[in-house]
A and B are shown apart, each in its own frame.
Chain A
Amino acid sequence: MYPSRFAYEAPSSLDEAIGLLHQGAGEAKVLAGGQSLVPLIKLRFASPELLVDINRLPGLDTLDVAADGSIRVGALVRHRDLERSTDLARVQPVMAAAAPLIADPIVRTRGTLVGSLCHADPQGDWAAAVTAVGGHVVAQGPGGRRTIPIADFVTGPFQNVLAYDEVAVEAVIPAPTGQVAGGFLKLERRVGDFATAGTAVALELTGDRVSRAGIALTGVGSRTIDARAAADSLIGQVLSAQAIAQAADLAAEAAQPNSDHRGSAAYKRHVIHTFVTRILTRITTTSERAA
């Protein structure tokens, strides 16, 4: 399969890239890892007139895990880099658990977290993980930089809030205030398939009580679902069997799955319930062991 014709530029500075996007007037696309965009242009689901390849821009490949636990993921940080980051594994278990589940090992060589957020596939994994940890995207355009909370960044299936001449330069995960815990579970029919259902749970604990919670679901709606009621039900709670069951019930209620070849709606809801229960139960057993 061949993409339709497009012009191609590989600028060497961010300003130049933004200028090219501006000139493109909505018909230009940013090319980063290309693991979603290249298949789309091959299938001719997308036919941009200009691809602005940002792979030669300096400074965007930085994965910065700060001493306070905040994380900055540059637009050229590959899934592979996240998968292998010992700092990430130490600081943010949700992200570390998601990284090896993204696509397949070869796609992870090229694909990027920021690109995945921009692509805004309702079955994407990173948007759920970043939603659960309360991250945001930093975008730069001709007018300067702005910070966009992940909840506002994705506006619908395959749609984001970026202006045509903005580049998403990094994703930022804020510093936690409590002890971080969490996990990411995904059901897929085989490696590389889209999620049948996936769940990200990010907690911060102060003592044995939950001081911050985020639960996000993928594959069970037309966009990433922020299961806010489920997460809020955990605030101030000890992770008792009862609290876990309530959060799992609320998360399953928040899911909006369709029945399709990957499973029935009821089945996917059941999987979400199981995943929330499993992640939260693991957190309690892990901390009991640690204590």
Chain B
Amino acid sequence: MTSLFEEIPQAAAEGVPVRRVTISVNGQPRTADVEPRLLLAHLLRQGFKLTGTHTGCDTTNCGACTVLVDDLPVKSCTMLAVQADGHEVTTVEGLAGPSSLHPLQEGFKDEHGLQCGFCTPGMMLAAKALLAENPDPTEDEVRFGLSGNLCRCTGYQNIVKAVLAAAATMRGEA
């Protein structure tokens, strides 16, 4: 059971209503009592200690906090944790096991698809959703599909290469 978090200012005083949510996170049911104003990004990071989900701009621009909700990409800083009740959330920690890499992770490693790495989890989850829908995208389709994710290192060239490489691996071509 996860309760409220120290980062919420004036941590839930007595009598502040909380709601119990149960969310499948990376395939595991997790339960928490949350204030309605808690954002999904903060529940994942502070509540469930899944700090692979990064909060970048906090204003729905950058996409660093992208997770999958029921397999579709969502900016977790722009969804309330209570709204995820009963839904399935996938974070970067759910891409592969602790001792293995997902083809997307392999792709980012092999193609140098990250510099500082801050945008990388969001990029990979957006890419996962993209490849689930379109397993053989063109370069333009990758760029369009990732256009909600910003990289301040401007390493887009290699990010696109990484996703194309992962797509080839996932199709069994490499």
The answer to whether B17 touches A7, judged by C-beta atoms less than 8 angstroms apart, is yes
Please, how many residues of chain B have a CB less than 8 angstroms from a CB on the other chain? Answer: 36
10 CB contacts below 8 A, A to B, read A8-B19, A39-B59, A42-B58, A51-B36, A51-B80, A105-B147, A106-B63, A107-B78, A109-B73, A110-B78
The answer to whether B59 touches A110, judged by C-beta atoms less than 8 angstroms apart, is no
- B-side residues, CB < 8 A to A, are 8-9, 16-17, 19, 35-39, 42, 58-61, 63, 66, 69, 72-75, 77-80, 82-83, 85, 126, 144-149
Contacts A6-B37, A53-B80, A110-B74 known; list 6 others, CB within 8 Å. Answer: A2-B39, A43-B59, A103-B148, A104-B63, A105-B147, A109-B72
Nearest CB to that of B67 among chain A residues?
Answer: A106
- Once A38-B79, A80-B72 are accepted as A-B contacts, the answer to whether A107 and B19 lie under 8 Å apart by CB is no
Top 8 A-B pairs ranked by shortest CB distance?
A104-B148, A8-B36, A106-B148, A191-B147, A3-B37, A105-B148, A106-B73, A109-B72
Between A and B, how many residue pairs show CB distances below 8 Å? 91
**Size class of the A contact interface (CB-based, 8 Å):** 20 to 34
The answer to whether B147 touches A104, judged by C-beta atoms less than 8 angstroms apart, is yes
- A11-36: CB near B (< 8 Å → 1, else 0) gives 00000000000000000000100110
Which residues on B sit within 8 Å (CB–CB) of A7? 17, 36
Nearest CB to that of B55 among chain A residues?
Answer: A1
Is A261's CB within 8 Å of the partner chain B? no
The answer to whether A38 touches B73, judged by C-beta atoms less than 8 angstroms apart, is no
- A42-57: CB near B (< 8 Å → 1, else 0) gives 1100000001010100
- Once A55-B83, A110-B78 are accepted as A-B contacts, the answer to whether A5 and B16 lie under 8 Å apart by CB is yes
Which residues on B sit within 8 Å (CB–CB) of A106? 63, 66, 73-75, 126, 148-149
Is A192's CB within 8 Å of the partner chain B? yes
